[in-house]
């Protein structure tokens, strides 16, 4: 209560009040509210070093993370395939295609449209991948010859999805393209984190995981600030599955809202969606506890509860009767749940796991089923045991660990 009152008081206070008595951020003020709660940036000397970071992808999330790292005193390069974006960004410090109202940190330089050179890549301390999952394999294949494995940068991935054709998680794509040794030290960041709130420095927390605890800790130290708190873990398979699957359940939540259902239904879908995610994850070989983390239930709750979520929006418009092709053409950004639903359906069928909500979303997206008709079928299912986790299985995770040369 006291914290809520304090935060609301700060939001309502005029700018002169902030300058009079509260700690200020040690950065140049730009055209957005830097911190409505007056948080003070951690002094730079608390970081191990001023890192050079190359961000692959200049969409909403890549841009907001580049801005966060730039404000945290790091030197950031952001790669885009768009020559127009690169030119405009370097001239105005604004992204014409993402977060258009935001003025970005001056320590960010846009590069492209040519693929980053070996000299640039080998001069980086960190490579951050914020591109759709379907583009990860192509990007890593092009990147591999430029890597100096004797001085490998920290590789961080923030994409969420399953590769459709191969049903591979990003961890496996890394192993296929760059080798198992690089995959074993790759780091993944996931959690409830809308880009537009990150650039406003709204308090946000994420999961930072890797099969290598030391690399997870390095990534955590790179990103951690009072408004961007990081919590480390060692289950990248579970975090990847949670990050991909929650987008499918967000589409379901949007469909329910589009049909006119309200809070009870949304709570039902979030809870039963979490049960399905956990059931699928444990059958795959992930830890069930991972689905109770920021990357699991945290991200699921946010994505299913906000009308600004792209996946929720797709579902809502489907529930309102729009056609998927029209929605995709007019959405203006990628909703990874649409493609993930196809890869997830294949995984569910292979595992033999009951996932009625995910299957229902797939039927609407790819089998032409009507939203209302499919919803009625789900509501007509017989009662079942609420908690029912797989005690066997885990074959996909075991195979992946074998590919990495690790014990399953």
Which sequence positions are flagged as catalytic?
246
Helices (H), 161-262: 170-178, 180-185, 195-198, 213-223, 236-258
* C-alpha Rg value of the chain to the nearest Å: 21
Q: How far apart are CA 183 and CA 139, in angstroms?
A: 15
| Geometric angle at alpha carbon 13, from 9 and 18, rounded to 5° | 110
Report the alpha-carbon angle 240-275-333, nearest 5.
45
Report the interhelical angle of 356-366 vs 336-351 (nearest 10°).
130
Report the length, in residues, of the chain.
Answer: 408
How many angstroms separate the CA atoms of 325 and 318, rounded?
A: 10
Q: Can you tell me which residue has the tokens 């494995």?
A: 149
- Residues pairing with 395 in the sheet: none
Give the span between the Cα atoms of 64 and 58, in whole angstroms.
Answer: 9
Residue 230: phi and psi, rounded to 5, are: -120, 140
Tokens of 162: 């399953």
């Amino acid at each position: 209560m006291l914290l809520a009152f304090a935060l609301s008081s700060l939001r309502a206070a005029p700018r002169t009040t902030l300058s009079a008595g509260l700690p200020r951020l040690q950065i140049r003020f730009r055209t957005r509210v830097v911190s409505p709660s007056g948080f003070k940036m951690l002094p730079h000397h608390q970081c191990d070093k001023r890192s050079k970071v190359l961000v692959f992808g200049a969409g909403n999330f890549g841009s907001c993370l580049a801005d966060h790292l730039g404000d945290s005193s790091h030197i950031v390069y952001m790669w885009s395939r768009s020559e127009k974006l690169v030119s405009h960004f370097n001239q105005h410090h604004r992204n014409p295609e993402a977060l258009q109202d935001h003025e970005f940190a001056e320590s960010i330089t846009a590069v492209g449209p040519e693929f980053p050179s070996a000299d640039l890549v080998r001069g980086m301390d960190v490579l951050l991948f914020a591109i759709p999952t379907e583009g990860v394999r192509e990007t890593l294949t092009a990147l591999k010859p430029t890597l100096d494995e004797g001085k490998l940068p920290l590789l961080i991935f923030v994409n969420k999805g399953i590769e459709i054709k191969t049903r591979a998680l990003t961890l496996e794509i890394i192993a296929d393209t760059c080798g198992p040794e690089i995959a074993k030290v790759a780091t993944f960041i996931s959690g409830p984190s809308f880009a537009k709130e990150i650039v406003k420095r709204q308090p946000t927390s994420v999961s930072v995981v890797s099969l290598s605890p030391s690399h997870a800790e390095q990534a955590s130290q790179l990103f951690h600030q009072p408004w961007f708190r990081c919590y480390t873990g060692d289950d990248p398979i579970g975090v990847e599955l949670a990050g991909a699957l929650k987008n499918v359940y967000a589409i379901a939540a949007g469909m329910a809202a589009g049909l006119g259902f309200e809070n009870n239904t949304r709570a039902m879908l979030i809870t039963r969606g979490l049960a399905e995610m956990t059931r699928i994850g444990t059958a795959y070989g992930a830890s069930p506890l991972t689905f109770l983390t920021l990357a699991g239930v945290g991200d699921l709750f946010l994505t299913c509860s906000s009308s600004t979520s792209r996946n929720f929006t797709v579902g809502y418009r489907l529930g309102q009767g729009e056609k998927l092709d029209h929605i995709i053409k007019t959405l203006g950004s990628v909703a990874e749940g649409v493609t993930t639903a196809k890869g997830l359906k294949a995984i569910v069928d292979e595992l033999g796991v009951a996932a009625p909500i995910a299957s229902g979303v797939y039927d609407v997206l790819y089998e032409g089923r009507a939203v209302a008709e499919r919803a009625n079928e789900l509501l007509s299912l017989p009662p079942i045991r609420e908690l029912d986790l797989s005690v066997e299985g885990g074959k996909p995770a075991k195979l992946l660990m074998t590919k990495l040369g690790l014990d399953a």
